[in-house]
Amino acid sequence: MISNHLDKLKLAIGKATCVKKQIGKGYWRQLWDIVRLPGRSPSCNVWDYYDFRLYDEDFVAPDTLVEYAGSSIQEDISQALNPRSIAAPGWDKLVCMAVLRGEPFAFSKLKAVYRPRGGIPSYVPCALTSSDETMRFLRNRSNYPMFTKPSYGQGGVGSFLLSDYDAQSDRIKHSNGTSELVQDFVSRVLFQTASPFHQVESGYLFQDVVDQHHAINEFQGRDAVSGLRVVVLNDPAGPKVLLVTWKLAMGSNVTDNFTLGAYGNLVARVHLETGAADFAVNAMWPNADRMYKHPVTGKSFASFKIPFWREALETATAAARFFPLMRIQHWDVAVTNAGPELLELNELGGTQIHQMGGQGILTHELREFILAYGNLDRRPLLREACLAGRAAKA
């Protein structure tokens, strides 16, 4: 316990030292900010102060601190708005696809589905119920390349881009240049998961690789999917887009998940009116960089408009109508040469990625939506944060 507290203290001192070097704000001024923070933004703590760059008044205006959702209420926002009884499509991709099947939405085509207990929909081209069947599927070179991921999951956990198969060595080739034995892949991915974001019983998906729009590929210098996270609010009047963040895959990463900056991917808040971003961020503050140009291609974010922008927003709101009791929905949308393609619906979409660019998400619109439709009985801090914002606006 003592060691854990000491580690946290060292981490906080390290962040404080970094801030002092970057913007010249001394330790005592930072401490005074942190002491006052709960009164200015009830849900934010010392880590949010640093992670969201709340210490920099030139980046975050003091009167907008109340609009920041702290890490302590991240899950509360979705759980307050989405009854547990209807949240399944936001976790299980096969459930989501089954609901939307037959509607005019583009999804990445399924090649196969593994489910150890069966129950695989009849429209799936190849049903796999055993490790032997799965290994035979993986040894068929005509199935490559393919993108694979758990049916039940979020955060990119257990996702892989498989580029080819070598029969002589019986090895699967990953897009990053590594390889592994077919048997090892099946054992590792299908049977030895230790994450709440991968439930084996729900199955594992093998899909076509998304053919991303050539303009995005040129902008980022590679064809890895960099999707849009479209947050939709869904009330009785109909769905409406709240905000959009562009997640950009970097390096050899095969997913665009930000994961608190752990893998070097970028996030950029996109203007709803224009479909362009001002800049991107590559980590949590104060260790992040503000990138006005893509670090690989040097192309300007502000000058690049995401293709099929209006169509992407319309696709997310149209899909949201099929889940009317999910009051907040986090859609991942890819943009292909043929138009928007739905990747998945997330129920817990995270709040950090939307708050890295100097804007909070607890705007007047979201606060009032939560107060109107949220179950706040056991979420006093979320209620306090929303009411504080209302009082500040008044």
In this prediction, residues 218-226 reach a mean pLDDT of 96
What burial class does residue 7 get, using C-beta atoms within 10 Å of its C-beta: 0-12 exposed, 13-18 middle, 19+ buried?
exposed
Nearest to 204 by CA among 130, 266, 309, 284: 130
231-247 pLDDT per residue, tens: 999 999 999 999 999 99
CATH hierarchy code of domain 83-90+213-346 = 3.30.470.20
Calpha distance 295→280 (Å, rounded): 10
The pLDDT score that the predictor gives to residue 392 is 83
Calpha distance 242→231 (Å, rounded): 6
The pLDDT score that the predictor gives to residue 1 is 63
Calpha distance 278→293 (Å, rounded): 9
Q: Is 116 helix (H, G, I), strand (E, B) or coil?
A: coil
314 CB neighbour count, 10 Å cutoff:
13
37-85 pLDDT per residue, tens: 999 999 999 999 999 999 999 999 999 999 999 999 999 999 999 988 8
Edge-to-edge strand ranges of the sheet holding 266-270 = 290-291, 280-281, 266-270, 238-248, 228-235, 328-336, 339-346
Higher-pLDDT residue of 112 and 189 is 112
21 pLDDT more than 90: yes
**Torsion from C-alpha of 88, 91, 95, 97, nearest 10 degrees:** 130
Angle at 282 between CA 279 and CA 283, to 5 degrees: 130
348 pLDDT more than 80: yes
Task: Please indicate, yes or no, whether the overall pTM of this predicted structure exceeds 0.85.
Answer: yes
200 pLDDT more than 80: no
Lowest mean pLDDT among 101-115, 238-252, 363-377: 101-115
Question: Strands 328-336 and 238-248, how do they pair?
Answer: unpaired
Higher-pLDDT residue of 304 and 189 is 304
In this prediction, residues 251-279 reach a mean pLDDT of 94
The pLDDT score that the predictor gives to residue 9 is 87
The pLDDT score that the predictor gives to residue 152 is 85
The pLDDT score that the predictor gives to residue 31 is 97
Where do the structural domains in the chain lie, given as residue ranges?
2-80+360-393, 83-90+213-346, 109-207
The pLDDT score that the predictor gives to residue 126 is 96
Calpha distance 231→78 (Å, rounded): 11
Higher-pLDDT residue of 222 and 191 is 222
Q: Is 69 left (phi over 0), alpha (psi -120 to 50) or beta?
A: beta
The Cα-based distances of 277 to 135, 244, 246, 306, 312 in angstroms read 43, 10, 8, 9, 15
